[in-house]
Amino acid sequence: MPKLMISLAQMNIALGDVRKNTAQMEKWTVEAARRGSHMVVFPELWSTGYALDQSKELASTLNTGTFNDMSGAAVGNKISVVGSLLEKRGMEVSNSAAFFAPNGRSLGIYRKLHLFRLMDEHKWLQPGSSPLAMDLPWGNTGLAICYDLRFPELFRRYAVEGAKMIIIPAEWPIERIEHWRALLIARAIENQCYIVACNSAGQTGDAIFGGNSMIVDPWGKVVVSGGESPNLLTAEIEMDAVDEIRKRIPIFEDRRTDIY
Protein backbone atom coordinates (compact mmCIF):
# COMPACT_ATOMS: atom_id res chain seq x y z
CA MET A 1 0.00 0.00 0.00
CA PRO A 2 2.38 2.75 -1.18
CA LYS A 3 -0.24 5.56 -1.26
CA LEU A 4 -2.30 6.31 1.81
CA MET A 5 -5.13 8.81 2.32
CA ILE A 6 -5.41 10.18 5.87
CA SER A 7 -7.90 12.51 7.56
CA LEU A 8 -7.17 14.47 10.75
CA ALA A 9 -10.28 15.34 12.75
CA GLN A 10 -9.28 18.62 14.44
CA MET A 11 -12.25 18.72 16.82
CA ASN A 12 -13.41 21.30 19.31
CA ILE A 13 -14.02 18.98 22.26
CA ALA A 14 -16.99 19.69 24.54
CA LEU A 15 -15.72 19.20 28.11
CA GLY A 16 -17.25 16.09 29.66
CA ASP A 17 -19.99 15.82 27.00
CA VAL A 18 -19.47 12.29 25.69
CA ARG A 19 -22.70 12.23 23.67
CA LYS A 20 -21.95 15.45 21.78
CA ASN A 21 -18.33 14.50 21.10
CA THR A 22 -19.30 11.00 19.94
CA ALA A 23 -21.81 12.46 17.47
CA GLN A 24 -18.99 14.64 16.06
CA MET A 25 -16.64 11.64 15.84
CA GLU A 26 -19.25 9.64 13.92
CA LYS A 27 -20.04 12.55 11.57
CA TRP A 28 -16.39 13.18 10.69
CA THR A 29 -15.66 9.46 10.27
CA VAL A 30 -18.44 9.32 7.67
CA GLU A 31 -16.97 12.36 5.89
CA ALA A 32 -13.40 10.99 6.02
CA ALA A 33 -14.59 7.75 4.42
CA ARG A 34 -16.52 9.72 1.78
CA ARG A 35 -13.25 11.47 0.89
CA GLY A 36 -11.60 8.08 0.35
CA SER A 37 -9.43 8.12 3.47
CA HIS A 38 -7.95 4.86 4.72
CA MET A 39 -7.61 6.26 8.25
CA VAL A 40 -9.06 9.05 10.38
CA VAL A 41 -7.26 10.30 13.49
CA PHE A 42 -9.03 12.04 16.39
CA PRO A 43 -7.42 14.12 19.17
CA GLU A 44 -6.37 13.10 22.65
CA LEU A 45 -9.30 12.43 25.00
CA TRP A 46 -11.66 13.33 22.14
CA SER A 47 -14.79 12.10 23.95
CA THR A 48 -14.29 14.00 27.23
CA GLY A 49 -11.44 16.49 27.10
CA TYR A 50 -9.58 17.05 30.37
CA ALA A 51 -12.59 16.39 32.64
CA LEU A 52 -10.20 14.39 34.79
CA ASP A 53 -12.08 15.03 38.04
CA GLN A 54 -14.86 12.93 36.44
CA SER A 55 -12.45 10.39 34.95
CA LYS A 56 -13.82 7.36 36.81
CA GLU A 57 -17.40 8.15 35.75
CA LEU A 58 -16.52 9.03 32.14
CA ALA A 59 -13.99 6.24 31.44
CA SER A 60 -14.92 3.07 29.56
CA THR A 61 -13.39 -0.37 29.77
CA LEU A 62 -12.10 -1.89 26.53
CA ASN A 63 -14.86 -3.26 24.27
CA THR A 64 -17.52 -1.03 25.89
CA GLY A 65 -18.72 2.58 25.71
CA THR A 66 -16.67 4.95 23.58
CA PHE A 67 -14.26 2.18 22.53
CA ASN A 68 -17.29 0.37 21.05
CA ASP A 69 -18.39 3.62 19.39
CA MET A 70 -14.98 3.93 17.66
CA SER A 71 -15.09 0.29 16.58
CA GLY A 72 -18.61 0.74 15.21
CA ALA A 73 -17.59 3.86 13.27
CA ALA A 74 -14.66 1.92 11.76
CA VAL A 75 -16.85 -0.99 10.64
CA GLY A 76 -19.70 1.18 9.44
CA ASN A 77 -17.40 3.23 7.22
CA LYS A 78 -14.71 0.63 6.38
CA ILE A 79 -11.95 2.91 7.66
CA SER A 80 -9.27 2.75 10.35
CA VAL A 81 -10.11 4.97 13.34
CA VAL A 82 -7.56 6.22 15.89
CA GLY A 83 -7.90 8.43 18.96
CA SER A 84 -7.31 8.57 22.71
CA LEU A 85 -9.90 7.95 25.42
CA LEU A 86 -10.17 7.57 29.17
CA GLU A 87 -9.83 3.82 29.77
CA LYS A 88 -11.05 2.20 32.98
CA ARG A 89 -8.75 -0.58 34.22
CA GLY A 90 -9.94 -1.99 37.53
CA MET A 91 -9.73 0.90 39.98
CA GLU A 92 -7.42 2.90 37.72
CA VAL A 93 -7.89 5.10 34.64
CA SER A 94 -5.43 5.50 31.75
CA ASN A 95 -5.17 7.92 28.82
CA SER A 96 -5.29 5.29 26.09
CA ALA A 97 -4.99 5.58 22.31
CA ALA A 98 -6.84 2.87 20.44
CA PHE A 99 -6.36 1.82 16.83
CA PHE A 100 -9.36 0.19 15.19
CA ALA A 101 -9.06 -1.52 11.80
CA PRO A 102 -11.81 -1.21 9.15
CA ASN A 103 -13.25 -4.52 10.36
CA GLY A 104 -13.69 -3.02 13.84
CA ARG A 105 -10.93 -5.04 15.46
CA SER A 106 -8.64 -3.29 17.90
CA LEU A 107 -5.08 -3.70 16.64
CA GLY A 108 -3.57 -2.18 19.77
CA ILE A 109 -3.99 0.07 22.78
CA TYR A 110 -1.22 2.52 23.68
CA ARG A 111 -1.36 3.98 27.19
CA LYS A 112 0.29 7.39 27.56
CA LEU A 113 3.76 6.90 29.04
CA HIS A 114 4.47 10.49 30.09
CA LEU A 115 1.75 12.09 32.19
CA PHE A 116 1.46 15.88 31.92
CA ARG A 117 1.65 17.51 35.33
CA LEU A 118 0.51 20.90 34.05
CA MET A 119 -2.92 19.38 33.34
CA ASP A 120 -2.90 17.28 36.56
CA GLU A 121 -2.80 13.99 34.68
CA HIS A 122 -0.50 12.49 37.33
CA LYS A 123 -3.20 13.07 39.99
CA TRP A 124 -5.93 11.17 38.16
CA LEU A 125 -4.34 8.77 35.69
CA GLN A 126 -2.08 5.74 35.67
CA PRO A 127 0.88 5.95 33.24
CA GLY A 128 1.40 3.32 30.58
CA SER A 129 4.25 0.84 30.76
CA SER A 130 5.22 0.11 27.15
CA PRO A 131 5.38 1.58 23.64
CA LEU A 132 3.09 0.21 20.93
CA ALA A 133 4.14 -0.52 17.36
CA MET A 134 1.78 -2.26 14.92
CA ASP A 135 2.41 -3.98 11.62
CA LEU A 136 -0.15 -2.35 9.34
CA PRO A 137 -0.74 -2.68 5.57
CA TRP A 138 1.34 0.47 4.93
CA GLY A 139 4.18 -0.49 7.31
CA ASN A 140 5.22 -0.51 10.95
CA THR A 141 3.35 2.24 12.83
CA GLY A 142 3.90 3.57 16.36
CA LEU A 143 1.56 5.45 18.67
CA ALA A 144 2.29 8.33 21.06
CA ILE A 145 0.08 10.88 22.85
CA CYS A 146 0.60 14.66 23.16
CA TYR A 147 3.24 15.28 25.90
CA ASP A 148 5.13 12.17 24.69
CA LEU A 149 6.26 14.40 21.80
CA ARG A 150 8.76 16.08 24.14
CA PHE A 151 10.59 12.76 24.72
CA PRO A 152 12.64 11.97 21.59
CA GLU A 153 13.85 8.67 23.05
CA LEU A 154 10.43 7.09 22.49
CA PHE A 155 10.32 8.18 18.85
CA ARG A 156 13.88 7.00 18.20
CA ARG A 157 13.01 3.59 19.64
CA TYR A 158 10.07 3.33 17.25
CA ALA A 159 12.24 4.34 14.28
CA VAL A 160 15.09 1.97 15.13
CA GLU A 161 12.56 -0.84 15.37
CA GLY A 162 11.34 -0.02 11.85
CA ALA A 163 8.47 2.45 12.26
CA LYS A 164 7.57 4.26 9.03
CA MET A 165 4.84 6.32 10.71
CA ILE A 166 4.07 7.58 14.20
CA ILE A 167 0.53 8.73 15.03
CA ILE A 168 0.01 11.35 17.76
CA PRO A 169 -3.43 12.32 19.12
CA ALA A 170 -3.08 15.49 21.23
CA GLU A 171 -4.69 18.32 23.19
CA TRP A 172 -1.87 20.85 22.91
CA PRO A 173 -2.62 24.34 24.28
CA ILE A 174 -2.41 27.33 21.96
CA GLU A 175 0.17 29.16 24.11
CA ARG A 176 2.76 26.47 23.29
CA ILE A 177 1.76 25.83 19.68
CA GLU A 178 5.18 26.85 18.34
CA HIS A 179 6.70 24.02 20.38
CA TRP A 180 4.17 21.61 18.87
CA ARG A 181 4.95 22.64 15.30
CA ALA A 182 8.73 22.60 15.77
CA LEU A 183 8.78 19.26 17.60
CA LEU A 184 6.56 17.50 15.03
CA ILE A 185 8.87 18.56 12.21
CA ALA A 186 11.97 17.66 14.24
CA ARG A 187 10.65 14.16 15.05
CA ALA A 188 9.92 13.54 11.36
CA ILE A 189 13.38 14.71 10.23
CA GLU A 190 15.44 12.97 12.89
CA ASN A 191 13.58 9.65 12.52
CA GLN A 192 12.98 9.88 8.76
CA CYS A 193 9.37 8.79 9.11
CA TYR A 194 5.87 10.21 8.71
CA ILE A 195 4.45 12.04 11.71
CA VAL A 196 0.65 12.08 11.72
CA ALA A 197 -0.56 14.39 14.49
CA CYS A 198 -4.10 15.46 15.35
CA ASN A 199 -4.65 18.25 17.89
CA SER A 200 -7.92 19.62 19.22
CA ALA A 201 -8.89 23.23 18.49
CA GLY A 202 -10.67 25.98 20.36
CA GLN A 203 -11.89 26.30 23.94
CA THR A 204 -12.56 23.21 26.05
CA GLY A 205 -13.39 24.12 29.64
CA ASP A 206 -10.89 26.78 30.76
CA ALA A 207 -8.20 25.82 28.22
CA ILE A 208 -7.78 26.87 24.59
CA PHE A 209 -6.18 24.29 22.32
CA GLY A 210 -4.16 25.30 19.30
CA GLY A 211 -5.11 23.08 16.36
CA ASN A 212 -2.31 23.05 13.79
CA SER A 213 -2.82 19.32 13.22
CA MET A 214 -0.20 18.12 10.78
CA ILE A 215 1.15 15.39 8.59
CA VAL A 216 4.93 15.79 8.19
CA ASP A 217 6.86 13.69 5.69
CA PRO A 218 10.24 11.99 6.37
CA TRP A 219 12.09 14.96 4.82
CA GLY A 220 10.42 17.37 7.25
CA LYS A 221 8.04 18.83 4.70
CA VAL A 222 4.57 19.65 6.02
CA VAL A 223 2.11 17.78 3.79
CA VAL A 224 -0.99 19.31 5.37
CA SER A 225 -1.52 21.63 8.33
CA GLY A 226 -4.66 22.95 10.00
CA GLY A 227 -5.19 26.41 11.39
CA GLU A 228 -6.57 27.16 14.84
CA SER A 229 -10.24 26.34 14.09
CA PRO A 230 -12.05 22.98 14.04
CA ASN A 231 -11.53 21.34 10.68
CA LEU A 232 -11.33 17.95 8.97
CA LEU A 233 -8.02 17.83 7.07
CA THR A 234 -7.31 15.23 4.39
CA ALA A 235 -4.14 14.45 2.46
CA GLU A 236 -2.56 11.64 0.48
CA ILE A 237 0.94 10.47 1.36
CA GLU A 238 3.49 8.27 -0.41
CA MET A 239 4.83 5.61 1.98
CA ASP A 240 7.72 4.70 -0.34
CA ALA A 241 9.26 8.08 0.59
CA VAL A 242 10.42 6.64 3.93
CA ASP A 243 12.78 4.08 2.35
CA GLU A 244 13.98 6.58 -0.26
CA ILE A 245 14.96 9.18 2.36
CA ARG A 246 16.56 6.61 4.66
CA LYS A 247 18.74 5.53 1.73
CA ARG A 248 19.58 9.13 0.79
CA ILE A 249 20.92 9.98 4.27
CA PRO A 250 21.55 6.68 6.10
CA ILE A 251 21.57 8.07 9.63
CA PHE A 252 20.59 4.78 11.27
CA GLU A 253 23.73 3.12 9.90
CA ASP A 254 25.87 5.91 11.38
CA ARG A 255 24.52 5.86 14.92
CA ARG A 256 27.20 5.30 17.58
CA THR A 257 25.43 2.70 19.68
CA ASP A 258 28.81 1.82 21.21
CA ILE A 259 28.76 5.24 22.89
CA TYR A 260 25.08 6.16 23.34
Q: What is the mean pLDDT of the chain?
A: 97
Given a contact cutoff of 8 angstroms between Cβ atoms, the answer to whether 66 and 47 are in contact is yes
pLDDT of residue 12 exceeding 90, the answer is yes
pLDDT value at residue 209: 98
Q: Is 72 within the bounds of a domain?
A: yes
pLDDT of residue 237 exceeding 90, the answer is yes
Give 243's pLDDT tier (boundaries 50, 70, 90).
very high
Q: Is 168 within the bounds of a domain?
A: yes
Q: Is 53 within the bounds of a domain?
A: yes
Cα separation, 120 vs 126, whole angstroms: 12
Distances (CA, A) of 105 to 20, 31, 45, 82, 99: 24, 21, 20, 12, 8
What are the catalytic residues? 44, 112, 146
Which tens digits make up the pLDDT trace of 188-219?
999 999 999 999 999 999 999 999 999 999 99
Q: Is 259 within the bounds of a domain?
A: no
Amino acid at 21: N
* Share of residues in the chain with pLDDT > 90 (%): 99
Q: Is 205 within the bounds of a domain?
A: yes
* Nearest CA among 117, 148, 146 for reference residue 210: 146
Counted domains in the chain: 1
Q: Is 209 within the bounds of a domain?
A: yes
pLDDT of residue 1 exceeding 80, the answer is no
Mean pLDDT of 37-41: 98
Q: Is 216 within the bounds of a domain?
A: yes
* Share of residues in the chain with pLDDT > 70 (%): 100
Sheet holding 39-41: strands in order across?
106-111, 92-100, 80-89, 39-41, 3-10, 231-238
Sign of CA dihedral 49, 50, 54, 56: positive
Give 2's pLDDT tier (boundaries 50, 70, 90).
confident
- CATH number, domain with residue 141: 3.60.110.10
Which tens digits make up the pLDDT trace of 136-173?
999 999 999 999 999 999 999 999 999 999 999 999 99
Which tens digits make up the pLDDT trace of 65-115?
999 999 999 999 999 999 999 999 999 999 999 999 999 999 999 999 999
Given a contact cutoff of 8 angstroms between Cβ atoms, the answer to whether 32 and 9 are in contact is yes
Query: Domain residues for 27?
Result: 3-254
Q: Is 213 within the bounds of a domain?
A: yes
